[in-house]
Structure 1
Amino acid sequence: MPFNKVCLIRPSIFTTSDSLGVEIMLPFGPAYLAAYLRQEGFAVSFIDALGEGMNQYTPLDDLPNSFLRGLNNEETAERIPADVEVIGVSSMFSVNWVVTRRLLQTLRRQFPAALLLVGGEHVTALPEYCLRDAPEIDYLVIGEGEHTTAELLKTLAAGGAVASVPGLAFLRDGQYRATTARLREKDLSVFPWPAWDLLPVADYLDNVTASLDYGRTMPIMTSRGCPYDCTFCSNPGMWGRLWRARAPEDVVAEIEHNIRTYRITHLDFMDLTTVMKRVWIITFCQLLIERDLKIAWQIIATRTEMIDGEVAQWLKRAGCAYITYAPESGSDRVLASIRKKLDKEAMLTSIASVVDAGIGVKMNFVAGFPDDRLTDILASYRMAARAAWQGAHDASFFPFAPYPGSSLFKRLAGEGKIELNDSYFFRLALYSVGHMKSVANHFSDQGLRWLCLTGMALFYGVSFLRRPRRLWRLGRDVLHREGKTKLAAILVMVMKNRRRIRNATTSG
């Protein structure tokens, strides 16, 4: 078999009627892989089961109030070309593993001769577990997938030894095998732009699927990796600690292409850490201004020490509308324990500069780390209140969830506090405050629930007291179904998703 005809699949996702609004976006990881394989001479097709069925909800009979969002497994399989030789499935988020596993079972039944590959952050974090839980899989692609996938297919076509291909995991005679780790690509220019032409881009652009409603939105990635080693993050296992950025000229050229081709008005920067180098971000902003692209954009992750008053002004002039800061905790003790290298005062100063420039700001806090104490939560409350007083627009207090691949996950699993099974993966979808599961030594499930609610109430209480017009704008935005802030966007998304679920179940 030449292993030349490749079909890549972005599966449907798991959701519940109780979970908060789920942001969905174009799958840039698989789209990058599709573009690279096509560049290497492979015939590539793509099925975006979520994108093609984003308003389709199929009830899961074995789970109350739970749904498969997107095409059902049979519909996905029907779209695969009959002569396919290789099927590649993306498995990014652990919450979707069970429904992805069921898709893999369907694919193996209907395409017994095809090579079945799976890649993404979830399988990279739990390779042996996934192989044993889904024996239909032939190979897992671990970490950055472009070079590994292309080399594997070329090696198989030539009859070579798979053991010589770095970045793979598989089972042989029931024994787990993993090849040597693949080194990250340092030159990101070898990767072509995502193959958006293979995906249903219009379905995303015609439906507000992004976290903020600034019109037609697409994701973009300016860098890969993160040099930091936070214990709650799975990044070190997926990407290592190598951070590399694309040339700002290439990023701006891609943006210009997407504006011209898809008439987009907004970008979500999906980097793990967008602003790492001051020179890079200023050059990027200058290029956007010089080309007069007039596009809004938001940054979901950044290093605060790089954004001062000057950089904030450049960001504003170049169209940056929103920045998310992630202090995680206001407690120095907790920050040290999770290896979060953060200067809190520098972050608050940066936030003040960004607010003064007219850019929206959100803060992400996490409550319920294993060793959290009440004094640590109170420190987070103080930091949130100070940021609200300074003008930050939004804040979230998330319950800590131990994600596979992170150091804290490994610790808790070793302590017997995590049991890997379907219930664990399903529980990751329940972001509703009524379903929080605490792994903290000092907080119960209900206690953690109230700690998160209190943090949110404190932040928005200070914000609305300091700036009463924001409360009026929030009501207006929700009434008109416009998500101009994160809080408004979440409320609007919850209403839309619940209406879609009602419509889907009623029509079904």
Structure 2
Amino acid sequence: MNNEGTKMKKILLVQPNMKVATSGQRIVYPPIGIMYLASVLEKKGYEVEILDCQTEGLDKGAEVIDGYVEVGIPIDEIAGRITASRPDLVGITCNFSVMVPHMMEASRLVKKLFPSVPVVAGGNHPTSLPEEVMGEGAIDYVIMGEGEISFPRLIEAIVEGKGFESVPGLVWRRDGAIIKNKTGALIHDLDSLPYPAWHLFPYEKYSRHYKPRAVTWGEAQAMPSVLTTRGCAGGCVFCSVHKTMGSKFRARKLDDVFKEIRFLVDTYKIKKLMIIDDNFTHNKNRAKEFCDEFKRQGLDIELHFMVLALWCMDEELIDKLKSIGCASMGFAIESGVQDILTNVVKKPLKLVRAMELLKYARSQGIHLTGTFVIGFPGETKRDIRRSLYMANYSGLFDSREIYIATPLPGSALFEQCVREGLLAEGFSYSKVEVVKPNIKTKDFSPDFITTILEADRTHHLIKTNPRRTLRLVRDVWRRRREHFLPVLYETSKMFVKYDFLKIREVYP
């Protein structure tokens, strides 16, 4: 498109609606990515507005369609917000493939209301499949990878009508052909970035409706997120975060991190804080220094870690985290079978050592959540049951979450599934959901994964609240009628067989 001579004053950044499976969790986190981008643009003199449809829709009713719940606001309300904003350019983030239909819907809406306004897409999905995203026609540009440097340079190129070739990570059109620029270098000086634009985020609404998932987190309360590092060298086969954040670990200086935390405490009177790094513990010494500085600052807030890499931890670090008020830790275990972890998931985690650290953390009174992923190509039904045994009967976790191996675009798992023809029949990016099966193998079908996941859910709920047994059986009949008998069969096996499995058989 030709916008030469266009004046760019008002930028609208959008996080679109998202569908989640009814068996999943309706959780919304602040869109830190576009909040960082908003701050960068404001610093360069642009007027910026954020439309976070997911947070704005927290007080909306949830309509269930085909097993999914939509989190967000009605399309006519989105249209009204875009019209009122009167933007000169719109940026839309799409970190999860399940958001693709909503990203496309929002982009078409912008073009209907303001045909000449450029639309830019970014996030994990557009970064992984930029040509496909551009093929829709309603999106004019894609920024691959981190956007804080490329996005402002794209705006300058649009205004000047030239220089698109020099914008790193830009995907654009020239004479109808899609051009894909080379991705630029990662941002190594993270301290050069301004803090996320919390003043543009609907914090008041978020704080009213946010409901933490861990039972020990207490009453519903807002929990702002802080990102202290970027990048993860873990290399897990199902992960696509390296597409946007890279595999190289990059850390902010602790002085800068604590200035941001102090800002959140002073401005929003926060009592709890979530650290959302992909691998906070990659540099063990830095993690320990973080704890020392936290204590020195005398901060009276409760800390939660979305996920910590066990293979980078030791007992001393756990002690330090406990001493500064760490209330909960999430650990991505993935599998209870070492061979699957090493040769299939490609995760550098040793289960024997992991169990030692988990037991130690439990002894310190920290709420532990374990996440497991089932349904990988190369896994057998027995491997899956062994993972579920660890999740349910190892005594290592206060809560656990079971997800399905999902071929996210940009991940090695996606490439394998495409290469080997393992994508389930009817595969669609709009339904790439971590609680819905999308992979078929010689060892199991998508139906088996659906059945075993439903059985695990039923087993877990009955085990934690036996009085709900009849109600849960009725719910299975209503939601999974075609799988009713297999689910009951697998559930009964979990109660009878799992109790007699020997721990040494699961963790050789």
1:301 match: secondary structure: strand
Q: Which residue does the alignment assign to 1:186?
A: 188
Bigger mean CA offset, 183-192 vs 271-280 = 271-280
Q: Which residue does the alignment assign to 1:400?
A: 405
Q: Which residue does the alignment assign to 2:440?
A: 439
- Trace 1:247-266 onto structure 2 (pairs within 5 A): 247-266=253-272
Distance 1:353 1:158, change over 3 A: same
CA contact (8 A) 1:226 1:243 kept: yes
Deviation at 1:105, TM superposition (A): 0.8
CA contact (8 A) 1:19 1:429 kept: no
CA contact (8 A) 1:32 1:192 kept: yes
CA contact (8 A) 2:403 2:434 kept: no
**Is structure 2 residue 27 aligned with structure 1 residue 23?**
yes
Q: Which has the higher contact order (CA 8 A, sep 6+)?
A: 1
Distance 1:59 1:425, change over 3 A: farther
- Trace 1:425-436 onto structure 2 (pairs within 5 A): 425-429=429-433, 431=435, 436=437
**Is structure 2 residue 342 aligned with structure 1 residue 341?**
no
Q: Distance in 2 between matches of 1:457 and 1:360?
A: 23
Opposite residue 101 of structure 2, the aligned amino acid is V
In structure 1, the gaps of 5 or more residues are 465-470, 476-508
Q: Which residue does the alignment assign to 2:498?
A: none
Distance 1:363 1:457, change over 3 A: farther
- Trace 1:290-369 onto structure 2 (pairs within 5 A): 290-335=296-341, 336-369=343-376
Opposite residue 44 of structure 1, the aligned amino acid is V
> Over the residues paired in the alignment, what is the CA RMSD in angstroms?
2.6
Percent identical: 26
**Is structure 2 residue 270 aligned with structure 1 residue 267?**
no
Q: Distance in 1 between matches of 2:16 and 2:271?
A: 27
Q: Deviations over 1:239-276 (max 9, x none)?
A: 22111111222222211211221122212221111111
Deviation at 1:457, TM superposition (A): 7.5
2:95 match: secondary structure: coil
Q: Distance in 1 between matches of 2:23 and 2:384?
A: 24
Q: Which residue does the alignment assign to 1:417?
A: 422
Q: Which residue does the alignment assign to 1:490?
A: none
Q: Distance in 1 between matches of 2:255 and 2:394?
A: 34
Opposite residue 121 of structure 1, the aligned amino acid is N
CA contact (8 A) 1:231 1:339 kept: yes
Q: Which residue does the alignment assign to 2:18?
A: 13
CA contact (8 A) 1:273 1:303 kept: yes
Q: Which residue does the alignment assign to 1:158?
A: 160
Bigger mean CA offset, 180-189 vs 151-160 = 151-160
Deviation at 1:456, TM superposition (A): 6.3
Opposite residue 94 of structure 1, the aligned amino acid is S
CA contact (8 A) 1:68 1:99 kept: no
CA contact (8 A) 1:148 1:165 kept: yes
CA contact (8 A) 2:311 2:348 kept: no
**Is structure 2 residue 88 aligned with structure 1 residue 85?**
yes
2:247 match: secondary structure: coil
Deviation at 1:442, TM superposition (A): 0.8
Q: Which residue does the alignment assign to 2:43?
A: 39
Bigger mean CA offset, 197-206 vs 448-457 = 448-457
2:51 match: secondary structure: strand
CA contact (8 A) 2:369 2:397 kept: yes
CA contact (8 A) 1:8 1:88 kept: yes
Q: Which residue does the alignment assign to 1:481?
A: none
Deviation at 1:55, TM superposition (A): 2.0
Query: What TM-score results when the alignment is normalised by the length of structure 2?
Result: 0.83
Opposite residue 202 of structure 2, the aligned amino acid is P
1:267 match: secondary structure: strand
Q: Distance in 1 between matches of 2:54 and 2:306?
A: 22
Q: Distance in 2 between matches of 1:189 and 1:380?
A: 40
Q: Distance in 1 between matches of 2:156 and 2:425?
A: 35
Q: Distance in 2 between matches of 1:240 and 1:66?
A: 31
Distance 1:157 1:460, change over 3 A: same
1:146 match: secondary structure: coil
Bigger mean CA offset, 178-187 vs 392-401 = 392-401
Q: Which residue does the alignment assign to 1:493?
A: none
Q: Distance in 1 between matches of 2:288 and 2:393?
A: 28
Distance 1:355 1:458, change over 3 A: farther
Opposite residue 407 of structure 2, the aligned amino acid is P
Deviation at 1:83, TM superposition (A): 4.5
**Is structure 2 residue 100 aligned with structure 1 residue 94?**
no
Bigger mean CA offset, 344-353 vs 451-460 = 451-460
1:75 match: secondary structure: helix
Q: Distance in 2 between matches of 1:274 and 1:455?
A: 30
CA contact (8 A) 2:405 2:434 kept: no
Q: Which residue does the alignment assign to 1:503?
A: none
Deviation at 1:382, TM superposition (A): 5.4
Q: Distance in 1 between matches of 2:142 and 2:254?
A: 33
Q: Deviations over 1:119-152 (max 9, x none)?
A: 11111111111111x2111100111111010111
